[in-house]
Structure 1
């Protein structure tokens, strides 16, 4: 079976063509994969800044109330350009105070390249990273607080 990438740049994403049909990969899929891969690196938060921390916390609260999974959007601070066979990724992140930024950004870059290439078949040409904030651990919403809010929301749902 022969496969060939076809498609158009921009919002339509990429298409993998074979003799039995085609598979289209939307830009938003590549964007989510890149965002999730970046978040897999310790002490990295997508989007950066206090606003992103608040958004992430509010997303967790919303998830607890609505029953959806995850806290916050994995696409915050992520933009992609997807061509026929390649993708370029731009990320905006915040790091926790004390991490070595060059090593951390390289770990993020490696994670994003590995995940996007292995899951989509696209070759990642570049991952540009902007570190726009350094956060102290107490600035980040505490996991225990998030779990407590989620638990309270679940209890309220059961009562209703």
Structure 2
């Protein structure tokens, strides 16, 4: 609350230092920024491609401790060949399939677990992290995350993640 003291005889308004700062903060909070764009009444459509969800999903899954790589045997072998002959870098959404329908997202992801980690715990953590990340970053409701554990990365195997 801003405290304002006014003197009638001079007609000037006096605001003490703390009240002046509070008044400035309140005025800034009440008035929008000059360069802010108003979207009230704005028409248009926002479309998010499945590939965007797939990339967010892949990054969220790879953040989970115990996830060594994404994709099934065939996908990983294909990426290995592509890498060796120099046909580009690894696809960011390898092993991930997402489907968006009416703002609801269903995700299928195939992962490789690092040996020594509990498979069910890592898979459950992947489900949780993927659902949370997609919901937070894209503002979409995730209705299912299906995790398939395709392989176990043994000690001494080459790491690609």
Q: TM-score, normalised by structure 1?
A: 0.64
Which position in structure 1 is the counterpart of 2:122?
104
Q: Which has the higher contact order (CA 8 A, sep 6+)?
A: 1
Cα deviation per residue 1:53-96 (whole Å; 9 max; x = unaligned)?
A: 77369649959xx7xxxx52121111111011210000111101
Is the contact made by 1:60 and 1:72 (CA closer than 8 Å) also made in structure 2?
A: no
Is the contact made by 2:98 and 2:108 (CA closer than 8 Å) also made in structure 1?
A: yes
For residues 69-88 of structure 1, the aligned pairs below 5 Å read: 72-88=90-106
Looking at secondary structure, tell me which structure has more strand per residue: 1
Q: Is there any run of 5+ residues in structure 1 with no aligned partner, and where?
A: 1-17, 144-160
Q: State yes or no: 1:120 paired with 2:138.
A: yes
Aligned with 1:25: secondary structure? Answer: coil
Aligned with 1:55: secondary structure? Answer: helix
Which position in structure 2 is the counterpart of 1:27?
50
* Distance across 2 between alignment mates of 1:131 and 1:103: 12
- Matched pairs, number: 120
For residues 1-150 of structure 1, the aligned pairs below 5 Å read: 19-20=41-42, 21-44=44-67, 45-49=69-73, 52=76, 55=79, 59=83, 62=86, 72-141=90-159
Q: TM-score, normalised by structure 2?
A: 0.63
